Amino acid sequence: MKGHGESASGTTTGGSGPRSAVVVNPVKQSDLDGLRRTVTETLAAAGWPEPAWFTTTVEDPGRGQTRQAIEGGAEVVFVCGGDGTVMSCVGALVDTDVALAILPSGTGNLLAANLGLSGDLAAGIEVAIEQGRRRIDVGECEDEFFTVMAGMGFDAQMLAATSETTKARVGWPAYVVGAMRHLRDRPMRVSIRIDDAPPLRRRARTVLVANVGRLQGGVRLFPDAEPDDGYLDVAVLTPRTIRHWLSLGWAVLRRRERVPRMEVLRGRRITIDSNRAQPRELDGDLITPGRALHAVIRPEALWLCVPQPATAPDLSEDADAVAERGERRIERTTGR
């Protein structure tokens, strides 16, 4: 791999298509050279200039690299990493005309899953080349942005208890192991204010603030959540015993209209105050624990590359069809 912002030849020349850049998390890649070759050659075959390439670091997991790409004239930024990498890059893309193209390579890939985007590399490139675009909302929390959800309490405890090694080995089911360690933890006392309404007081295990509806494993916790409806959906979970957890989980899995021990709210501005410091997370990445979580919706703040046509409610035609077109394009380009 070349250095930050450098193309394969040191320039971004050739082609009449949109200028692009690739921000890649090297930790999530087993074959960086193969990824670079596939993306560059496929874009060239479609008439796009050679993309600029940026690699994330521990100190800067994506926002700074994306800002450099935008300053360099990129019209599309491919992000190759997990939800945490996407979240970091979104911080630089919010309220710009530059589109995000997701090339998922993490454990959860929740934004891609919620929007019907394939996890296949060929499909991700094909979606960008076809130039389907859609604006989606973004949540803002303490100068950070999230596209999937923010959480306070049990969900963040679960993330903290799940090792990267286990996630790499078994994928999203690793979170179940982390969750089991905290099922019996004591609840937190919270005050929840939605917009200008009077605060609600609850004894909760976790409070989730979501921009989309699906969790790990395709579980749909918020049936009415849409990424462009201008609202954040809030789930207040109040189970106190193992039996409560089991009945709640069963109802969610069965997609019951009423879920015991779960209260769903929605609004544009959400403030959660706890009686003690709690673990917190944004899009699956832990942030500093705190006694409060403040979230606000930023309507239609992000351009996202989506499959054509982009008029269906789930944003996508069949993902397999898009992947097949992408595979054919790669085979024609690389001979593989």
Residue 251 lies in a domain: yes
Examine residue 268 and state whether it is found in any structural domain, yes or no. Answer: yes
Cβ–Cβ under 8 Å, residues 24 and 56: yes
In a domain, 139, yes or no: no
Q: Are residues 151 and 198 in the same domain?
A: yes
Is 188 inside any structural domain? Answer: yes
Mean pLDDT of 255-274: 95
Residue 3 lies inside a defined structural domain of this protein: no
Do you know the residue count of the chain? 336
Question: Of 73-87, 128-142, 246-260, 270-284, which gets the smallest average pLDDT?
Answer: 246-260
Is pLDDT larger for residue 137 or for residue 160? 137
CATH number assigned to the domain comprising residue 187: 2.60.200.40
The pLDDT, as a whole number, for residue 117 is: 86
Measured N-to-C along each axis, helices 319-334 and 32-45 cross at an angle, to the nearest 10 degrees, of 90
Q: What is the pLDDT of residue 280?
A: 97
Mean pLDDT of 15-23: 90
Phi, psi of 195 (to 5 degrees): 50, -125
236 and 267 share a domain? yes
Residue 117 belongs to domain spanning? 20-132+306-334
Q: Kindly state whether residue 6 falls inside one of the protein's structural domains.
A: no
Question: Does one domain contain both 191 and 328?
Answer: no
* Separation of CA 35 from chain center: 21
Query: Would you state the pLDDT for residue 12?
Result: 42
- Do 259 and 185 lie in one domain? The reply is yes
User: Do 288 and 281 form a contact (C-beta atoms < 8 A)?
Assistant: no
Whether residues 330 and 268 share a domain: the answer is no
pLDDT in tens, 185-240: 889 999 999 999 999 999 999 999 999 998 877 788 998 999 999 999 999 999 98
* Same domain (yes/no): 69, 199: no
Provide the 10 A C-beta neighbour count for residue 5: 17
Domain presence at residue 4 = no
Domain count for the chain, please give it. 2
In terms of domains, do 312 and 169 share one? no
- Count of CB atoms within 10 A of residue 237's CB? 23
Q: Is the same domain home to 229 and 190?
A: yes
The answer on 316 and 198 residing in a single domain is no
Region 243-257 average pLDDT: 89
Residue 174 to residues 120, 184, 225, 332, Cα–Cα distance (Å): 22, 19, 25, 38
Band of pLDDT at residue 127, cut at 50, 70 and 90: very high
CB 248 within 8 A of CB 239: yes
End-to-end C-alpha distance for the chain, whole angstroms:
21
Q: What is the mean pLDDT of the chain?
A: 86
Strand partners, 285: 282
Q: pLDDT higher for 20 or 186? A: 20
When pLDDT is averaged across residues 19-32 and rounded to a whole number, the result is: 93
Question: What local confidence, expressed as pLDDT, does residue 146 receive?
Answer: 96
Chain centre to alpha carbon of residue 101:
12
Within-domain flag for 102: yes
Same domain flag for 257 and 277: yes
**Same domain, yes or no: 157 and 260:** yes
Are 205 and 259 found together in one domain? yes
Beta-carbon count within 10 A of 110 CB: 23
Confidence of residue 332 (pLDDT cuts 50, 70, 90): low
CATH code of the domain containing 320: 3.40.50.10330
Residues 41-57, mean pLDDT to the nearest whole number: 96
- pLDDT, residue 216, reads 75
Which DSSP string corresponds to 111-146?
HHHHTT--S-HHHHHHHHHHT-EEEEEEEEETTEEE
Could you report the per-residue pLDDT of 100-126, keeping only the tens digit for each? Answer: 999 988 767 889 888 888 888 988 999
